Chain A
Amino acid sequence: MTKVTLEVNGKKVSKEVPDHTLLSVFLRDNLNLTGTHVGCDTSQCGACVVHVNGKSIKSCSTLATDIDGSKVTTIEGLAKKGKLHPMQEAFKKTHGLQCGFCTPGMVMSAVDLLQTKKNPTESEIREWLEGNICRCTGYQNIVAAVKEAATKM
């Protein structure tokens, strides 16, 4: 067992967990933040993407204890005072989702892209989202959402 202390969505949390606890498990089972999804469980699908110290990573392939002391942002941490984040707003406006399972990861990845690149081209958006798989084949509107958000962020 190891004590893991993180700042999750601006709130300090501390839990004693088994050493092999994945960050995705820590978030979902220990903190009840179930917005972070687990799809493939083999680090391909990207449904579990969260930000650790501002960078997007796959939480299903990261040990919670490995990032002890870090700042984590999950999909639950994007909206501020009941107001959706511009990326969430854009996904809603352009209908960048169908079943919604991949959406939290898509949104977290896309936010990271716009943090590093303000006005990405369509091919840069598609390339960046290679690690996020949508099985409803909704990529067209997802890309449209990222483009839309780029004008607002």
Chain B
Amino acid sequence: MKSFNYHAPKDVKDASKLASSSSAFLAGGMTTIPSMKLGLASYKDVIDIKNIKKLSGIKVSGKTVTVGATTKHVEVASSKEVQKAIPALAKLAGNIGDAQVRNRGTIGGSISNNDPSACYPSACMALNAVIHTNKRKIDAEKFFVGMFETALKNGELVEAIEFQIPEKADYQKHPNPASRYAIIGVFVAKHKKDVNVAVTGAKSCVYIDKDLSKKLSSSFSAAAIEGMEVKSSGMNSDMHASAEYRANLVSLYAKKAVEAC
């Protein structure tokens, strides 16, 4: 790993001041550090944001659950409040990576990295999340721009993620057997007026399957989407799963998620 200067500011303002085009914010480091070790990324300055107290913690209000950026997966998974308000979100967090990754990895890190196979982005999309940064609020659908790409600008830092509490929701993933990332993952959320089916792992970036969402909005049952074909065009194809296989999994796991709601 190439050398860098490590900083651990105590507030967001200082973190923001340290940021440059050759810096990275560090939270759990579960992606950033392996990427640096593999030589996929190198930075002059690494700005650790874990000492900024206001970035951590979970708040549940009447209609929303707000999770601070440096809140660890294990904390979301074991939070009684999250388990009660959005059990699907706690379940999702409890199945990310492995126990040791969940002890370090954070929600802010996961969504800022926007790995095409990450679990959290699908929850953000399906639960109409609003991403709070140190500069503005961004709707999830505008936040996730492309493969490993978000709407975040240089020096912009995710502070918290505000999820809308749904009537019902569930997340189903088909994990890679070795690394546990989502070969595909489907987050189904039934809100008062409509249903969102968010898919991760299938394409270069998380997306809402509009056809499945529309069908389920008019009739929320597994039978309503039985036999619905999901098109494989634009889907990832690799040694782990072909595009056709992924398309089939999306349809299958959407049904599983609806049944589990």
Contacts and interface: CB of A to CB of B under 8 A. Distances in A.
Contacts of A141: none
A19 B3 contact: yes
A61 B30 contact: yes
Contacts, number: 77
Interface stretch (A36-44, A78-86, A96-104, A144-152): A36-44
Contacts of B36: 20
A60 B1 CA distance: 11
Interface in B64-85: none
Interface stretch (A6-14, A26-34, A51-59, A87-95): A51-59
B98 A20 contact: no
Contact of A61 (B2, B5, B29, B180): B29
B99 A43 contact: no
Interface string A42-77: 111010010000011110111101100000000000
B104 A20 contact: no
B73 to A, nearest CB: 12
Interface in A108-151: 109, 112-113, 128, 130-133
Contact of B99 (A22, A56, A65): A56
Q: Is the interface of B mostly helix, strand, loop or mixed?
A: loop
A57 B36 CA distance: 18
Interface residues of A, number: 29
Contacts of A41: 37
A19 B179 contact: no
B109 interface: no
The residue in B1, B5, B6 that gathers the most chain A C-beta atoms within 10 A of its C-beta is B6
Contacts of A44: 178-179
Interface string B22-65: 00001001100110111000000010101000000000000000
Contacts of B101: 43, 58, 131
Contacts of B97: 131
A22 B34 CA distance: 11
A12 B103 CA distance: 24
Interface string B8-31: 100000000000000000100110
A56 B6 contact: no
B37 to A, nearest CB: 6
Given A44-B178, A46-B98, A130-B99, A58 B38 contact: no
Interface string B80-100: 000000000000000001111
Contacts of A22: 1, 33, 37
Given A19-B46, A61-B30, A131 B99 contact: yes
Given A22-B1, A43-B34, 13 more contacts: A19-B4, A19-B5, A20-B36, A22-B37, A42-B37, A55-B103, A56-B100, A60-B37, A63-B29, A63-B46, A66-B29, A128-B99, A131-B99
